[in-house]
Structure 1
Amino acid sequence: MKKTLWALVVLCLLAAPFIGQAETPQDEWRQQIVRWTEQLAAGDDRFNAFPKADRRWQSVGTNRDDWVVTFEQSNRPIGYLIVGEEERALRLLEYGLGAHPLFTEQPFVPLPSDTKTPFYAGLHSVWITDDGLIDAKSGEHYPQTAKRPSNFKPIDPIYERAALTAVQLSRYADNTQPWIKPEGKITDEPDLIEHLDKGLNLSYVAHLFEGEILAPFATRGYHRWGKSIYVELEDDGSRFLPVKHALQWGVFYP
């Protein structure tokens, strides 16, 4: 019942025009999306199209109130936000740029026609199908032995009043090779930020599904929201995730 109610709430707020101050939960939800997108656009011009883009939503939580808000321009995806709700407070769990947001079907990797359920769990995000798990970004089928996390809990998410205070871009190159013959590891946040502040090109390797899957990514920089850092990973477009989440599930390499 709660999930159905929130689905109706989100549908109303995404379809309604912005007028005046928030007076209802629908208005508050919609205005918070606007606030986050305006802050992103003001701090990072790659997000300039977000505030006026068309929006559509989809529930991506199993027994949780999580949603993907996909932004479209001329009927084409340009990015997304993953928004969670806890005790009536909204949290920005992840966001990204590119033509292939989370939980959208890739044109050359169609999803199977059997029952599929979107499940958001950060880097473990998947479609759950009758035949197993499918990566929510690439559409890759995971081995049958891969089991979805049963107790995903967001780490250090952005809450409603957080402000985007800094943007750091690295000298990005699509290079994930250093982890193959690593000369060192970066396993704590201060060391990682020091490297990124120098504009260094780092690689990141996530150890997913209890180490069954090694997923390498190139880093592109970070966004700072007050005390929270969201690291930017290249994954057929940009994905911004809390750095504490990335460090929990993987290692950075210089």
Structure 2
Amino acid sequence: GTISAEKIISAIKKNTILVSVIFVSNEIGSVLPVREIGLAIRYQISDIRYHIDAVQAAQFYNLNVEKLGCDLLTLSAHKIYGPKGIGALYVKKGSKLKNLLYGGSQEYGLRPGTQSTSGIIGFAKAVELLGSLEERQVAAEKIKKLRDKLLEFVQTLPNVEINGPTGESRVANNISFIVFGADQDALMTVLDLAGIAASTGSACTSGSVEPSHVIQSLRKIAKQKAATIRLSLGRKTTVSEINATIRILKRIV
């Protein structure tokens, strides 16, 4: 569920121009060593561009681009309680990007089209409400305590295994687990009827009935009957909601 700086460097070829790494896995919650990867790239091959997908990391971690050593960094408003459909791309000075779309001169000529003023305002307000790094870390500790309470219970369930790491290598708000022998659709339906908002993986693969490539790379479950469940916590999650989730999982899993 993670990768080291050494493996990244060993995978680089002569024609590699970009290394793109996700800061926090949206499916299994792994926190990757993005700063170490950036340092290794700069030390080994200085002319390669380094991109960090920080969409899942913004509400918990320090995104100082100089310390991270990245040339490019992407963010999305909806992961920090902002509106959907608006994001941001940090581009380090000197990084030459070729646009994929042509037309107007908006976004420095990289992305033509009328900008979403309401989306931009909503994004800016979400960043403001997110608070300082210290405030985010306090929120993360609160969420982590609730997450650990639920995680400890899930680990006691029969035929259940946790996807991804535990401890500091896992983001505070993520729980992902697999229930062997369970029907994916049936379990999701029962959870939904019980008022539990769960998912099978990332929103990107929501239309697929197959296990995601992330889960398949961790476990050989393609021919096994198994259900993958992802639960996400937030700043508004309460102890009573965690207790209710535990009672429901105890009854149906």
TM range (shorter): under 0.3
TM-score by length of 2: 0.25
Q: Which has the larger radius of gyration?
A: 2
Q: Which has the higher contact order (CA 8 A, sep 6+)?
A: 2
Name the structure with the higher strand share: 1
Name the structure with the higher helix share: 2
TM-score by length of 1: 0.25
